[in-house]
Amino acid sequence: MPAGSPNLSFIIKTNANPLPEAEREAAFANLGFGTLFTDHMAIIRWSADKGWHGAEIVARGPIAMDPASSVLHYAQEIFEGMKAYRTQDGHAVLFRPEENARRFRESAQRMAMPELPEADFIAAVDELVRIDAKWIPQGDGSLYLRPFMFASETFLGVRSSREYIFCVIASPVGPYFKGGAKAVKIWVSQNYTRAAQGGTGVAKCGGNYAASLVAQAEASAEGCDQVVFLDAAEHRWVEELGGMNIFFVMDDGSLLTPPLGGTILPGVTRKSLIALARDKGLTVREELYSFDQWKADAASGRMREAFACGTAAVVAGIGTVKFTGGEFMIGSGETGPVTSEMREALVGIQKGQRDDPHGWVHTVTKA
């Protein structure tokens, strides 16, 4: 569904002290994830009396907050993750921004926050990408965009805030995992869960990620890259990783991924991979899958590959699964051929190297 026309127009206040080009280029030589930031940010404010107002692009910098700002106490905060890419012909493009705009609105609904019209969400991201286009790395890197919104009213009562700040920041990134394309090792959390029915698992709110951190710390202490959560009711069904969805590749060539069902984040990468796999004629099943079955299928060879996927992680092969009392390998323990093929199909479209039959690529600036 097209997002329509934006309601807001942005006042552009250019950063008077941008990072010098030589420093930016030097930083590009060794990109990790989420430590380097561009010169600008987009801001839109909301208040109960004025609605959405004050759209501007300003120099990136601290946001002054009262210590009683309600987000600091009750965590009314949501965010998105998306990327801008530089195509071979030099265009700056986004991938399915309308999906992020819609999910952001749905997260806002769940968290009792005002819904930013989708066209204004996309306009904010477009404006930031346009002004900071030189920050999109060439080659394997991309410009990670982080739209977010938080409750900014100075008030300690427990109710939804009457003031919010929506902001978009941008960060040139390389691989999310330290090992780059190497298959990752994941830890199955049997003590902690991420989301229960009726909770906030379906929303992209900071609280879900805060709740995952103790399990993620356990994963790191176990020498793993990521944690995978089981369902909260039975501690039996595989749900998702701390910050990404999961897919399994079976010996008949089919793909399996846990169904959304209210506790799993509806990933844009997840949705896109399902469509791409079906385009290739592969069967994709969205079905409950138990941890016990996973162990059995990995042992019997019925499971050939597994991979994690998300905007930040893209598509990352899972080589080893560790849990209290043991560990098992999936396939050869390396990234498998279907995983690599899915990754290439997705990245190829995102970077304009492959046909885009679904019309997913959104051009921000032409070279």
User: Which range binds ligand COI by CB under 6 A, 19-27, 124-132, 135-143, 307-315?
Assistant: 307-315
Q: Does 201 contact ligand COI by CB under 6 A?
A: no
Q: Does 81 contact ligand COI by CB under 6 A?
A: yes
Task: Write out the binding residues for ligand COI, residues 82-141 only, by CB under 6 A.
Answer: none
Q: Does 314 contact ligand COI by CB under 6 A?
A: no
Q: What is the DSSP string of 284-300?
A: EEE---BHHHHHHHHHH
Q: Does 258 contact ligand COI by CB under 6 A?
A: no
Q: Does 183 contact ligand COI by CB under 6 A?
A: no
Identified binder of ligand COI from the candidate list 312, 342, 346, 349, rule CB under 6 A: 312
Identified binder of ligand COI from the candidate list 258, 310, 317, 352, rule CB under 6 A: 310
Q: Does 272 contact ligand COI by CB under 6 A?
A: no
User: Which range binds ligand COI by CB under 6 A, 100-108, 133-141, 310-318, 339-347?
Assistant: 310-318
Closest C-alpha among 323, 257, 254 to residue 283: 254
CB of 310 to ligand COI, least distance (A): 4
Is 102:357 a contact under the CB 8 Å cutoff? Answer: no
**28 Rama class: left (phi>0) / alpha (psi -120 to 50) / beta:** alpha
Closest C-alpha among 199, 188, 181, 170 to residue 82: 170
- In three-state secondary structure terms, 238 is strand
Q: How far apart, in whole angstroms, are the C-alpha atoms of residue 118 and residue 235?
A: 36
Closest C-alpha among 263, 264, 339 to residue 308: 339
Query: Which residues share a beta bridge with 318?
Result: 184
Binding residues for ligand COI, how many (CB under 6 A)? 5
Q: Does 331 contact ligand COI by CB under 6 A?
A: no
CB of 250 to ligand COI, least distance (A): 25
Q: What is the DSSP string of 180-200?
A: TTSPEEEEEESS--S--TTSS
C-alpha pair distances (Å), 173 with each of 43, 128, 137, 142, 182? 22, 16, 8, 6, 17
CB nearer to ligand COI: pick between 310 and 319: 310
Task: Write out the binding residues for ligand COI, residues 232-251 only, by CB under 6 A.
Answer: 243
Binding site for ligand COI (CB under 6 A): 81, 243, 310-312
